[in-house]
Amino acid sequence: MSLISGKTRVCGVIGDPIEHTMSPVMHNAAFKKLGIDYWYVPFRVKKEELGRAVAGMRALNIRGLNVTIPHKVAIIPFLDKLDPLAEKIGAVNTIVNDDGILTGYNTDATGFLQALLEKRVKPEGKTIVILGAGGASKGISFTLAGRGASLVILNRRLERAEDLAQRISQVSKNEVKALTLSEENLAMVLAKADILINTTSVGMIPDIDKTPVPARLLKSGLVVFDIVYNPVKTRLLREAEAAGAKTLICGIEMLVWQGALAFEQWTGQKAPLELMREEAIKALGHEN
């Protein structure tokens, strides 16, 4: 890595906790590869310090920040402008600082879509089952509804799924249903589904032997996307593969794409996607 100079521009990520982030290795490797004089650092920012952190970003002229849990929604009032997609979703994961004007983007949602399209999966006209109704589901659900898919959102707490479905139906003509996440409902909706997306944390380390969907409900022909990236291949993906599902998309793809799209916003250059993927996988290997 080249040394930091007087011209080095700083990017980073704010969140709490932050120790397990993969973003610094992905971005610093990408800056180095392209010979861009940028540096990416993690900042642990507590909830009550968020406003002061944004003021610090302005004062220190930090070029860009990623925003992660728990700040993706709370950050919005501190920004000057919002990209229309981030506004619709109501969450921001990337900030760009253009001479003191801070604009918020949601590259989680566009990154998710890129990961799908890269596998040649087209959401238009498909029936998509989405597990979970939290922050990650919100971005994904809005993006897919905007692409002409019919959605069924299943969540442990039904009221969150209903609330999300209602907000999506205000901006989309496609069908959006909400159901409780139960085995019975899964059996009913998966029988007619084209794509299954897990946005819950079920199956994430340390609970790697858990899965949100019983194996017997998985079938060949179903496209399965699990946004959990640690482990890279979750139990859900392993069982889907065993059931003959051909297109499996790991959460690491979304992670890499959201990073690549943020990188492009900050630098104006095309991100070295393959290198970022390799670095993220390597860093995950060190974690486990």
Sites of contact with ligand ATR (CB under 6 A): 132-137, 155-157, 160, 181, 199-202
Count the neighbouring beta carbons within 10 Å of the beta carbon of residue 119.
14
> Residue 227 Cβ, how far from ligand ATR at the closest point, in Å?
8
Contact 174, 151 (CB under 8 A): yes
CA distance 78 to 187: 44
Residue facing ligand ATR at closest CB distance? 134
> Residue 132 Cβ, how far from ligand ATR at the closest point, in Å?
3
> Residue 255 Cβ, how far from ligand ATR at the closest point, in Å?
12
> Residue 133 Cβ, how far from ligand ATR at the closest point, in Å?
5
Contact 57, 82 (CB under 8 A): no
User: What stretches of the chain adopt beta strand conformation (E)?
Assistant: 9-15, 38-44, 64-67, 81-82, 94-98, 101-105, 127-131, 150-155, 176-180, 195-198, 223-226, 248-249
181 or 240, CB closer to ligand ATR? 181
Q: Report the chain's terminal Cα–Cα distance, integer Å.
A: 25
126 or 160, CB closer to ligand ATR? 160
> Residue 142 Cβ, how far from ligand ATR at the closest point, in Å?
13
DSSP 20: T
Would residue 139 be called left, alpha or beta, if left means φ above 0 and alpha means ψ between -120 and 50 degrees? alpha
90 or 134, CB closer to ligand ATR? 134
Of the candidates 32, 72, 233, 282, the residue annotated as catalytic is 72
3-class secondary structure, 107: helix
21 or 199, CB closer to ligand ATR? 199
12 or 135, CB closer to ligand ATR? 135
Catalytic residue list contains 46: no
**Strand pairing report for 101-105 and 94-98:** antiparallel
Active site residue ranges: 72
